[in-house]
Structure 1
Amino acid sequence: MSSELQPVKPDTAEVLIITGMSGAGRTTAAHSLEDLGWYVVDNLPPQLFSTMAQLIGKNPDTPLKLALVVDVRSKEFFQALQEAMNQLRTDGAELRVLFLDAADEVLVRRFETLRRPHPLQGDGSILEGIAAERELMAALRDQAEMMIDTSDLNVHDLTTSTTELFTESGPIVIRLNVMSFGFKYGVPQDSNYIADVRFIPNPHWVPELRPFTGQDQEISNYVLERKGVASFMDSYVAMMEPVIEGYRSENKHYATLAFGCTGGKHRSVAIAEEIAKRLATYSGVKVKISHRDMGRE
């Protein structure tokens, strides 16, 4: 009787493809997942992906979470990878792609610091190797459900970001990273939705408000009371309702919502804080807030 009550293990695993630009942190992300109990395999030929997922599903001593670290170096490999991913989906495996990226100048600096050539540079420069890799990786990047921009992250930051993405906590289904940023520092690469809040009058031009940030009540009151802001926030949150439900049905677990103003100190911070507060009330949603550029001025 007791043996009949034992849980039945599914015959396919949850599969995560870890990929991205060389130097962006694939190895660090993989180590983080190992620490979380994932079974991590590096450089497995794509033709063996489906077999590996099935073997893990049938072995009661291995985790049901399989992470495959993929390094795309040729068009032929990319074609084989696409076929392998299609087969995994046909087999019924839950498949997701995590893409790690960083700005070109950051990648160059990392290779120069390690005194290593870029794997695709050949007789050219590191930057030429990066450009060649970006071209090869473009289609895979577009398919990724999750992306982490590691330009401003050290090893410990990336470990934390990866852990937050893949640590289950109760009934949480969707994780939303609500971010503020300044357009003058560039648009965040890993954002799924970008909203420009520069339509709001800038508190920077009010001398008594200039020293504060969007986390201070003085700025929050000023920004949220401007004409059109309440309507904007109501519409934005309403827009996210079908998105969240769609993510659930498509098994997409993570998204970054980015709000930008000129410098990332006042308007975007106040709006991000308020939007995050509202979205956090949704059932099955966990919200993290980050202010990328606050303090850079």
Structure 2
Amino acid sequence: MTGTRDLPFPAAPAPEPRRLVLVTGMSGAGMSVALKALEDLGYESVDNLRLSLVPALVEQGEASRRPLAIVIDSRTRDFSADAFIDHIEALTAHPDLEVRLLFLDCGDEVLQRRFTETRRRHPLAVDRPVPDGIQRERALLNPLRERADVTVDTTHLSIHDLRRLLAGHFALDAQPALQVFITSFSFRLGLPREADLVFDVRFLTNPHWDPELRPMSGLDEPVAARVAGDPDFPAFFRNLTDLLRPLLPRYNQEGKSYLTIAVGCTGGRHRSVYVAERLAAWLRDLGVKVGLTHRDLERSGPRPG
């Protein structure tokens, strides 16, 4: 047994950093839904925690190393954007933590409607009109929005789409392969703020001007045939896929886990819906995990699409 003291022993692999997601954003933008979605993904969740208690909570969980999601927003008694950023920087410097800041945003009109419909008081406008509270909160939170690692605008998102987006960004068992989310949309109703890439297909033949096709959508075969029959469509779609093919592995190499591609037309009903469907099918044939939604299809009606 001589010489056993000199045998090299392999060092134990270092544990992966513990995941910590800090959630903030505009009141009414869906923070409760986001926290529940993260909890369903396997995170321990804590709502409305005071900033001063964050370090102690993180230290208490070191033994279990369970991923942690914390909502900290303007309801918190000692809330301050500057203090919040200071805490984020301190936590980020900890080698055993992987810290990400999620900011949930939403359009002012939609926020006001949500508060009106639920008859809730805005936390920053207890004795004032809701719009005053929204503007005050937006100014207060702007530094955090600029600092966020992930920003999600929920103005036009369903609860299902929000949960799917969060799963793409924060799933604990996510594979290293890039996940892609495709949405069609109407330019009349605004750009999807969460989009990484936006493609405008308003140059294609518009089925809206055919009375028989107008009530249909890009999901219907007659509309699909009309759009695909545009003389410029084959070259356009070939160029689009030629553009995306080399980009996807590069995004993956850079560590981007989720890519949102938006395809827009005038009404979000015909051309963009068909192109989004074709693009999703092409990506699936490549083995890419794809989510697909048509943001404005149900709202568009028989408008120019």
TM range (shorter): 0.7 to 0.9
Larger mean Cα displacement after TM superposition, 177-186 or 131-140: 131-140
- Residue 28 of structure 1, aligned match among 33, 38, 56: 33
Counterpart residue identity of residue 39, structure 1: E
Match of 1:271, SS state, is helix
Superposed displacement of residue 47, structure 1? 6.2
Contact 1:265 1:294 in 2 (8 A): yes
Sort the Cα spacing of 1:47 and 1:227 in 2 relative to 1 into closer, same or farther, 3 A.
Answer: farther
List runs of 5+ in structure 1 lacking aligned partners: none
Contact in 1 for aligned 2:48/2:71 (Cα 8 Å): yes
- Report what 2:15 is aligned to: 10
Deviation digits for residues 135-192 of structure 1 (CA, Å, limit 9, x no counterpart): 2333433444444443455666655654565446673632221001112233223323
TM-score, structure 2 length as denominator?
0.78
> Which residue matches 1:287?
290
Question: C-alpha displacement at 1:287, in angstroms?
Answer: 0.7
Q: TM-score, normalised by structure 1?
A: 0.80
* Distance in 1 separating the partners of 2:146 and 2:224: 35
* Amino acid across the alignment from 1:83: D
Task: Please list the CA deviations of residues 197-255 of structure 1 after superposition, one character each: whole Å capped at 9, or x if unmatched.
Answer: 11112111123433332122332232234243333333333443555345434433223
Which residue matches 2:117? 113
Other structure's SS at 2:235 match: helix
**Which 10-residue stretch deviates more, 140-149 or 199-208?**
140-149
Specify which of 196, 202, 206 is matched with residue 202 of structure 1.
206
Question: Which deviates more, 261-270 or 246-255?
Answer: 246-255
The letter of the residue matching 2:47 is D
Match of 1:252, SS state, is coil
SS in 2 for 1:280: helix
1:103 aligns with 2:107: yes
Structure 1 runs, 4 residues or longer, greater than 6 Å off: 73-76
For 1:179, the equivalent position in structure 2 comes to 183
RMSD of aligned alpha carbons? 3.4
- Provide the C-alpha distance between the structure 1 equivalents of 2:242 and 2:277, rounded to a whole number of angstroms: 17
Give 1:130 deviation, angstroms: 0.6
Instruction: Map 1:207-226 to 2 at 5 A.
Output: 207-226=211-230
Q: Structure 2: where are the runs of 5+ without partners?
A: 1-8
User: Is the alpha carbon distance of 1:154 and 1:201 closer, same or farther for their aligned partners in structure 2, counting shifts above 3 Å?
Assistant: closer
Identity %: 38
Whole-Å Cα distance in 2 between the matches of residues 88 and 264 of structure 1?
A: 43
**8 A Cα contact 2:273 2:294, kept in partner:** yes
Matched, 1:85 2:119: no
Aligned ranges for residues 225-244 of structure 1 at < 5 Å? 225-241=229-245, 243-244=247-248
For residues 243 and 111 of structure 1, do their structure 2 counterparts lie closer, same or farther at Cα, with a shift above 3 Å needed?
same
* Aligned partner of 1:192 among 193, 196, 201: 196
Please state whether the residue corresponding to 2:298 is helix, strand or coil. Answer: coil
| Cα distance in 2, alignment partners of residues 254 and 199 from structure 1 | 28
Q: Which amino acid aligns with 2:295?
A: R
Asked if structure 1 preserves the Cα contact closer than 8 Å seen for 2:207 and 2:214, the reply is: yes
2: CA distance, partners of 1:255 / 1:282: 15
Answer with 1 or 2: which has the greater Rg: 2
Paired residue type of 1:77: S
